[in-house]
Amino acid sequence: MNRDTKLVTNIIIILLSVVLIISILITTVRIISDNSYYTYDTDSFVYALRSQHYSEMVDYKYRNESLGLKADSELQELYHVATYYETAFFYRAAMESGDTETADQCKEVMDTEAAGFGPYSYAVEEINTVLGI
Amino acid sequence: MSIEDERCPFCGTPNPDAIRHRQDMKRFSHEFETTKDSVIKESLSAAQRTARFTIIGALVLAILITLFIFSKSWEISYWLETKAASDNYGKYSAMLDQYEADGDYLAFCSLYANSPGLSSSDSFRSYYYVYNAASSYRSALLELMKIMEPDPYSSPETEIGYLSDSVGRFYEVLSEEHYSFYEEDGCYSDTHMAAVEDMKVQLERCLQVYLNISDEEISQFDTMSKAQKQVIIERSLTENE
């Protein structure tokens, strides 16, 4: 095997090795990204809260929970707001349709959730106004 | 006297054949070594060439395999997720059953739709019908909630359209034909049918309260066309304003 052939084959081997490493990395990243799902962070919740789009918070909370996202204390407070809104929505429906048992259960949940609002405690009144409670 | 003897053992005369033999052997030995070196060198070179081309071939094959995996990454992920969901059937089915029993259909719907592999795994086919109903129920409830919320960027027509579509889809699920293959999977079990009925009660109650729809009108929602439902929802919202 002469020196030129050696040199050429060495260059080809090096180039192919680089291409292989890059393609393995790209494939790994792609498989990982195919297996990862979007979850909503605190900012998304706060933005929805400021816009009074509470239904979005409800939707975000369920999505995060179904994907097993571990919520920190701040996110947990926003989850309380979302749960409060959802329960309050059913509370008014139960109350006005005369289902006092369900309404009482909802009220109990609402009181518990409202206690966990933290800095977002102002939202209780806003939500009650939006829902006409 | 043999060919190896340089001289005659009897008279001491030099043996010309032995001298020639020795010279021949020396030459042969040299040629042998040269040939041997050349053969070794050649075979080493061939082995090196073979090794290099084998490495190149292996690298090309590995790149092709990686590219194939890359092109099939979605299918691979889908398969992995479906398998993981099936492997965790006990855990997920317990959660789904609990949500269904608690009437927490939004959580049920979210878990079924968002947890990787659940909706694609055959193991969870018995939940398909109740999920279908829960999905429309969820959309209708969220749309109804949105109507209550202030949104300067959304037009009432759009909101009414979305809500009517979601409510319409829910009643379509309720009135859909019961397919035998779903029947075999347990989609229409008493538990699931009771859950769907409960969703209907909850949704109708919310529609009545938040849109001021009368008992008579809501009792006809089952048989009304989508357009008729939309007219009632639109009228109710206009009156509420």
Question: CB–CB of B59 and A16 under 8 A?
Answer: yes
Predicted pLDDT of residue A93? 95
Token code pair at residue B147: 């109507």
Say which amino acid occupies B79: W
Q: Give the mean pLDDT of chain A.
A: 93
> Which of A27, A40, A106, A128 is the best substitution to test chain B (most B C-beta atoms within 10 A)?
A27
State which residue of chain B sits closest to A92, comparing Cα positions: B209
Q: Which residues of A touch B111 (CB under 8 A)?
A: 65-66
Q: Is residue B241 predicted with pLDDT exceeding 70?
A: no
Question: CB–CB of A5 and B106 under 8 A?
Answer: no
Averaged pLDDT for residues A119-127: 94
Q: Which residues of B touch A130 (CB under 8 A)?
A: 148-150
pLDDT tens-place string over residues B101-122: 999 999 999 999 998 888 888 8
* DSSP assignments along A14-63, one per residue: HHHHHHHHHHHHHHHHHHHHHT------HHHHHHHHHTT-HHHHHHHHHH
Cα separation, B52 vs A10, in Å, equals 8
Give me the helices (H) in chain B, please. Answer: 16-71, 73-87, 89-102, 105-114, 128-148, 156-175, 180-185, 190-211, 215-219, 226-240
State which residue of chain A sits closest to B80, comparing Cα positions: A35
Query: Å from B74 to nearest chain A CA?
Result: 6
**What angle (nearest 5°) sits at the alpha carbon of residue B90, between those of residues B181 and B93?**
55
Given pLDDT bands bounded at 50, 70 and 90, which one contains residue B240? Answer: low
pLDDT tens-place string over residues A57-78: 999 999 999 998 888 999 999 9
Q: Which residues of B touch A19 (CB under 8 A)?
A: 59, 63
State which residue of chain A sits closest to B214, comparing Cα positions: A97
Q: Is B161 exposed, middle or buried (0-12, 13-18, 19+ CB in 10 A)?
A: middle
> Which of A20, A32, A40, A128 is the best substitution to test chain B (most B C-beta atoms within 10 A)?
A20
Predicted pLDDT of residue A1? 64
ipTM of the complex: 0.83
Question: Strand, coil or helix: what is B155?
Answer: coil
Predicted pLDDT of residue B71? 92
Provide φ and ψ at B96, rounded to 5°: -65, -45
Instruction: For residue A23, give the nearest of B66, B77, B210 by CB distance.
Output: B66
Q: Are A117 and A84 in contact (CB under 8 A)?
A: yes
End-to-end CA distance of chain A: 89
Token code pair at residue B103: 């009437």
Q: Which residues of B touch A92 (CB under 8 A)?
A: 209-210
Q: Which residues of A touch B66 (CB under 8 A)?
A: 20, 23-24, 27
B14 beta partners = B7
Query: Å from B87 to nearest chain A CA?
Result: 17
Q: Which residues of B touch A81 (CB under 8 A)?
A: none
Query: Å from A118 to nearest chain B CA?
Result: 22
Question: Which residue has tokens 């997720």?
Answer: B81
Q: Which residues of B touch A20 (CB under 8 A)?
A: 59, 62-63, 66
Percent with pLDDT over 70 in chain B: 98
In this structure, which long-range contacts are made by residues B62-71, counting pairs with CB atoms below 8 Å and at least 24 apart in sequence?
B62/A20, B63/A16, B63/A19, B63/A20, B63/A23, B66/A20, B66/A23, B66/A24, B66/A27, B67/A23, B69/A27, B69/A31, B70/A23, B70/A26, B70/A27, B70/A30
Given pLDDT bands bounded at 50, 70 and 90, which one contains residue B162? Answer: confident
What angle separates helix A73-96 from helix A100-114, to the nearest 10 degrees?
A: 160
